[in-house]
Chains A and B, each alone.
Chain A
Amino acid sequence: MTDLSKIRNFSIIAHIDHGKSTLADRLLEECAAIDQREMEDQILDSMDLERERGITIKATAVQLTYQADDGEVYALNLIDTPGHVDFNYEVSRSLAACEGAVLVVDASQGVEAQTLANTFLATDAGLEVLPVINKIDLPSARPQEVKQEIEDIICVPAEDAPEISAKNGINIHSVLEMIVRDVPAPKGDRNAPLQALIFDSVYDSYRGVIVYTRIKEGTVRAGMDIKMMATGATYKVVEVGTMNPRGLTPRDALGAGEVGYITASIKTVADTQVGDTITSVENPATTPLPGYRPVQPMVFSGVYPADGAKYQDLREALEKLKLNDASFVYELESSIALGFGFRCGFLGLLHMEIIQERLEREYNLDLITTAPNVSYRVTKLDGTVLMVDNPLDYPDPMEIQLAEEPFVKVNLMAPQEYVGNIMDLATSRRGEFKDMVYLDANRVELHYEMPLNEIIYDFFDALKSRTRGYGSLDYELIGYRPSKLVKLDILLNGDIVDALSFILFADNAYPRARKICERLKENIPRAQFEIPVQAAIGGKIIARETIKALRKDVLAKCSVGDNTRKKKLLEKQKEGKKRMRTFGTVSVPSEAFMAVLKLDED
């Protein structure tokens, strides 16, 4: 076990795109942990998706061996954190495994909403926050001003912050020296009862779940019986070790202050919840580590195979994904329109997109997803309370005493010239203005309370476009509030298409209904007959469009010599019809569902 004084546990925090993962790569390189050849850009972001989107989805950790200028060799444990507001809880648990956080701030962008939010998370966790000014090679870099911003806005000394370029490898050494000098060494009693914090886990088909953990107190070694304090599950430890850039290195034991992994033939990540405490069965700790919270999905959506026959494939894919992601939930649902599928719960919209994209890419599935919605709380006249996360389960309005929807506190940050735009946007999304704070001479933070439902679709994109990319956002759930809710149904040729129904704020129903009808009209192919597209609340039609009848779909010439080819055309057309979903008499291609989902992208 490494001596406590020679361990530094730290995290890198930043706003999206400020260069967190690039800095991590340079640190790895500088410690000769991996050579240039092995560098696939941003090694910590191991999923293709993560690389493409430039965000970290899952936390990972790696141990670096660094010989500092003082001649001593240090074990530096870098714990990478997810970089999106959807994963705030996961971020907080990763931070709880560290003593310090390197705060990366873009030298031209300066402090942004997530810089602030992540710094608060880090200081809340009692971490030493060490600012680093990145991208100083950019012509628009203004390191001095940004340092001032950091001191003014987040009250962290930044005068001596290293000015670096992670991309070009400038001044990386000074970051490592800063970590050794300023991140406090961990504390802990290696003879105390075991308390190990789970900050992530991954499923490996050979070893079962690999738990990433920070030992807070005590020691864990192979052969020990351990217990998950929240779930109560017990296991016998198979192996412990540390994560090195080239893979897992088994060790005899992990002691307080160390960061490493544990395997124990655990079959599912659902048993190793992030934030849970591992203790010893023989000599258990009296209390778990603070801060554990069970996973709570915020956004729900129906996920169906585009080809109904692929239902089993979808089920298997979801089971496999779930092995590695305890934070999404799913259950069977069936729709008259779409057949069998699953209602899935996600941490947020990004999380939802990621899961859907992984299903399509890694499991080769074509999906139809229904509009995302939040979980509504409905009190019926007889006093029963329902949590409704599926529009199909929404009770008849006559039975409802009280309908409530979840609200969030939203912090919006942008240069002051965009305040007007932001206010317009927030107001149009039913935001209730709380206050506005000047962070410095030209930067403001606005606080709103608004329904979660209003930000799950496209709020972030709308904010970006109205602030030329400068606006940033952060939100947290504050509870349920009464609301005027209605269920909007869509009818094609007179029949309700259940998969297109959704719950929304009553005042938004008319414009939304009109837009949906327009979109469906554009995306449903003309048929042999005229198709009315209607939107209704209860039995009342509130919007209508008409898809004109198709007039011409004919093979004019089918004779001498080429009837075989023409016949294949008809066969193909027949096969195409198989892939469409038929609702009553109307065939709807899956693109139509997509178009309705992307309603707000204008």
Chain B
Amino acid sequence: MPLFAKKHKIPLGIYIHVPFCRSKCQYCDFYSVTEKNDRLLDGYQDAVCTHIKEAGILAPDYVVDTIYFGGGTPSFFGADGMAAILTTIRKSFKVSSSAEISFEANPDSVSDRLLRRLRSEGFNRVSLGIQCDDDNILKKIGRPHNYAQAVSAVNRIRRFGFKNLSLDLMYGLPGQSLQDWEKTLANVLKLQPEHISCYGLKVEEGTPLYEYREFCNLADDDTQADMYLSAIEILGRHGYRQYEISNFCRKGNVSRHNLKYWNGDPYLGFGPNASSDFGGQRFTIIRDLEGYIRNMKTGKPVLQDVQTIAPRERAGEYLMMRLRTVSGIDPKEYEKKYLLPFAPLERNLIQCKERGLATKTFDGRWHLTPNGFLLSNSIISDLLLIQEQN
């Protein structure tokens, strides 16, 4: 340990973007490639490891308490590569012994070998993308697995000793009715995951789904809203507490890593298109695997879009991110941290409360209600405008 290192280290999250997939899902606009050859895989692994080593030197005052392999499909990339990257992280950073170390997986690529290896390397949380229980819909949206594979994957994940499992679900899928969605929830509850994420389908421009969105029987906004409210109700009844717009957990099993985004805590991202919030700056790596590999090898810049975040902007992010969570925003904290008046915001929040969209807790915090979450863009953009005008 360096001589003058601080006694109390700052917690840090690390995100590894693994940009490999077996196939592209019809709705997905995350960065990934479906090409998988040794040159790319090795090149990627080398680039990420070099990058991690470089960054580690700059972060002696931090202790890593969450690591998250997302994608893409980390499980498709493979256990050896992930293990090598994790080892590099451990060598380059101080990693807390109680760190949450997660990886995303698809049911078709969680082999026994992968699970055994990753568990032994210290991975302790799995986020499994199963989306829904209807094989027809899974096929329609381009998922490379069926529901039986998902159930089998869950069983094997448990068998290899992972005690923290999250299941990703989607609602508003092509042809999916409210009843279909409730059936999916009922089935998934039988699998007893610690954590569930429910994401409403959003049709993003540039995805294949966008092109035929008119013709695939998508739920309208009102139906999606009903699906959302029904999820909150059903999950709540089964002991899953909502802690963010789309996230639910049992017994405090929140995603500590994702909470960092919502709380505005620092994190470093590696891999193409990963973003970071570190040292008062926010930066994103280029959205180009080949370019990332090449530039890391030749010492050229890999960042695009480096921004120093002004306090004023932090104040905006505070509203944007915190209002996604059930703990919401704290007026006293807001005023103290950003030296801005809360009263104009509160006036608007009171209107929201009258409309049943927000609640003020006994200790003065504000958070959105389920109906408020549904309108969070509209509410937050109003607040941002008010913030800007005061």
Answer whether A and B are interacting partners. yes
Interface residues of A (CB under 8 A from B): 527-529, 549-564, 567, 569-571, 573-574, 576-578, 585
Q: Are A560 and B199 in contact (CB under 8 A)?
A: no
Within 8 Å CB of A585, what residues of B? 351
- From 246 to 287 in chain B, residues with beta carbon under 8 angstroms from any chain A beta carbon are 246, 255, 257-258, 261-262, 269, 273-275, 282, 284
B222 interface contact, C-beta 8 A: yes
* Contact of B246 (CB < 8 Å), options: A549, A556, A560, A574: A556
Most A-side CB within 10 Å, residue of B199, B221, B375, B380: B375
Within 8 Å CB of A555, what residues of B? 202, 245, 376-377
Q: Which residue of A lies closest to B221 (CB)?
A: A552
Q: Which residue of A lies closest to B201 (CB)?
A: A556
Within 8 Å CB of A573, what residues of B? 377-378, 381
Within 8 Å CB of B321, what residues of A? 558, 563
B144 interface contact, C-beta 8 A: no
Q: Are B384 and A574 in contact (CB under 8 A)?
A: yes
On whether A529 and B384 interact (CB within 8 A), knowing A552-B228, A556-B202, the answer reads no
Q: Are B377 and A561 in contact (CB under 8 A)?
A: no
Within 8 Å CB of B68, what residues of A? 560
- Shortest 6 CB-CB distances between A and B: which pairs? A573-B381, A556-B200, A551-B225, A552-B221, A560-B70, A574-B384
B355 interface contact, C-beta 8 A: yes
A564→B313 CA distance, assembly (Å): 12
Within 8 Å CB of A560, what residues of B? 15, 68, 70, 257-258, 261
* Contact of B199 (CB < 8 Å), options: A556, A570, A571, A577: A556
B20 interface contact, C-beta 8 A: no
Not counting A564-B275, A569-B377, a sample of 12 additional A-B residue pairs whose C-beta atoms are within 8 angstroms of each other reads: A528-B379, A550-B375, A552-B221, A552-B225, A556-B198, A556-B246, A559-B262, A560-B70, A561-B269, A561-B274, A567-B320, A573-B381
A569→B384 CA distance, assembly (Å): 12
* Contact of A570 (CB < 8 Å), options: B30, B255, B275, B377: B377
Q: Are B273 and A528 in contact (CB under 8 A)?
A: no
On whether A553 and B274 interact (CB within 8 A), knowing A560-B70, A570-B380, the answer reads no
Q: Which residue of A lies closest to B388 (CB)?
A: A574
B224 interface contact, C-beta 8 A: yes
Q: Are B258 and A578 in contact (CB under 8 A)?
A: no
Within 8 Å CB of B315, what residues of A? none
Q: Are B377 and A567 in contact (CB under 8 A)?
A: no
A553→B200 CA distance, assembly (Å): 11
Q: Are B381 and A574 in contact (CB under 8 A)?
A: yes
CB proximity of B80 to chain A, nearest CB, Å: 22
On whether A551 and B317 interact (CB within 8 A), knowing A570-B384, A574-B388, A577-B385, the answer reads no
- From 202 to 248 in chain B, residues with beta carbon under 8 angstroms from any chain A beta carbon are 202, 221-222, 224-225, 228, 245-246
Most A-side CB within 10 Å, residue of B273, B324, B377: B377
CB proximity of A589 to chain B, nearest CB, Å: 14
A27→B73 CA distance, assembly (Å): 74
* Contact of A551 (CB < 8 Å), options: B221, B284, B385: B221
- From 132 to 170 in chain B, residues with beta carbon under 8 angstroms from any chain A beta carbon are none
A578→B382 CA distance, assembly (Å): 10
A555→B378 CA distance, assembly (Å): 10
Judged by DSSP, the binding face of A is: loop
Q: Are A528 and B375 in contact (CB under 8 A)?
A: yes
A550→B17 CA distance, assembly (Å): 35
B77 interface contact, C-beta 8 A: no
Q: Are A563 and B275 in contact (CB under 8 A)?
A: yes
* Contact of A529 (CB < 8 Å), options: B30, B355, B376: B355
Within 8 Å CB of A529, what residues of B? 355
A585→B348 CA distance, assembly (Å): 11
B123 interface contact, C-beta 8 A: no
A529→B353 CA distance, assembly (Å): 12
Within 8 Å CB of B382, what residues of A? 577
A569→B225 CA distance, assembly (Å): 20
* Contact of B352 (CB < 8 Å), options: A528, A559, A570: A528
Within 8 Å CB of B284, what residues of A? 564
Q: Are A557 and B375 in contact (CB under 8 A)?
A: no
Q: Are B246 and A557 in contact (CB under 8 A)?
A: yes
11 pairs, A vs B, C-beta closer than 8 Å: A549-B355, A550-B378, A554-B375, A558-B324, A560-B15, A561-B15, A561-B17, A564-B284, A567-B317, A570-B320, A574-B381
Q: Which residue of A lies closest to B31 (CB)?
A: A561
Q: Are A553 and B273 in contact (CB under 8 A)?
A: no
Most B-side CB within 10 Å, residue of A549, A562, A567, A569: A562
- From 339 to 390 in chain B, residues with beta carbon under 8 angstroms from any chain A beta carbon are 351-352, 355, 357, 371, 373-382, 384-385, 388
Q: Which residue of B lies closest to A551 (CB)?
A: B225
A555→B228 CA distance, assembly (Å): 13
On whether A563 and B374 interact (CB within 8 A), knowing A552-B228, A556-B202, the answer reads no
Q: Are B199 and A557 in contact (CB under 8 A)?
A: yes
A585→B275 CA distance, assembly (Å): 38
A528→B355 CA distance, assembly (Å): 8
Q: Are A554 and B30 in contact (CB under 8 A)?
A: no
Most B-side CB within 10 Å, residue of A527, A564, A567: A564
Within 8 Å CB of A574, what residues of B? 381, 384-385, 388
CB proximity of A586 to chain B, nearest CB, Å: 13
- Encode B309-353 as 1/0 by CB contact (under 8 A) with A: 000000011001100100000000000000000000000000110
* Contact of B275 (CB < 8 Å), options: A553, A561, A571: A561
CB proximity of A55 to chain B, nearest CB, Å: 40
Q: Are A561 and B273 in contact (CB under 8 A)?
A: yes
Within 8 Å CB of B17, what residues of A? 561
Q: Which residue of A lies closest to B226 (CB)?
A: A551
Within 8 Å CB of B379, what residues of A? 528
Within 8 Å CB of A559, what residues of B? 255, 258, 261-262
A552→B375 CA distance, assembly (Å): 5
Within 8 Å CB of A527, what residues of B? 378
Within 8 Å CB of B352, what residues of A? 528
Q: Which residue of B lies closest to A572 (CB)?
A: B381
On whether A564 and B282 interact (CB within 8 A), knowing A529-B355, A554-B245, A574-B381, the answer reads yes
- Encode B159-203 as 1/0 by CB contact (under 8 A) with A: 000000000000000000000000000000000000000111110
CB proximity of A326 to chain B, nearest CB, Å: 42
* Contact of B200 (CB < 8 Å), options: A528, A554, A578: A554
Within 8 Å CB of A564, what residues of B? 275, 282, 284, 305
A584→B1 CA distance, assembly (Å): 61
Q: Are B275 and A552 in contact (CB under 8 A)?
A: no
A578→B384 CA distance, assembly (Å): 11
Within 8 Å CB of A577, what residues of B? 381-382, 385
A562→B31 CA distance, assembly (Å): 10
Q: Are A551 and B375 in contact (CB under 8 A)?
A: yes
CB proximity of A532 to chain B, nearest CB, Å: 15
Within 8 Å CB of A556, what residues of B? 198-202, 245-246
A557→B198 CA distance, assembly (Å): 9
Within 8 Å CB of A551, what residues of B? 221-222, 225, 371, 374-375
CB proximity of A520 to chain B, nearest CB, Å: 19
Within 8 Å CB of A558, what residues of B? 245, 261, 321, 324
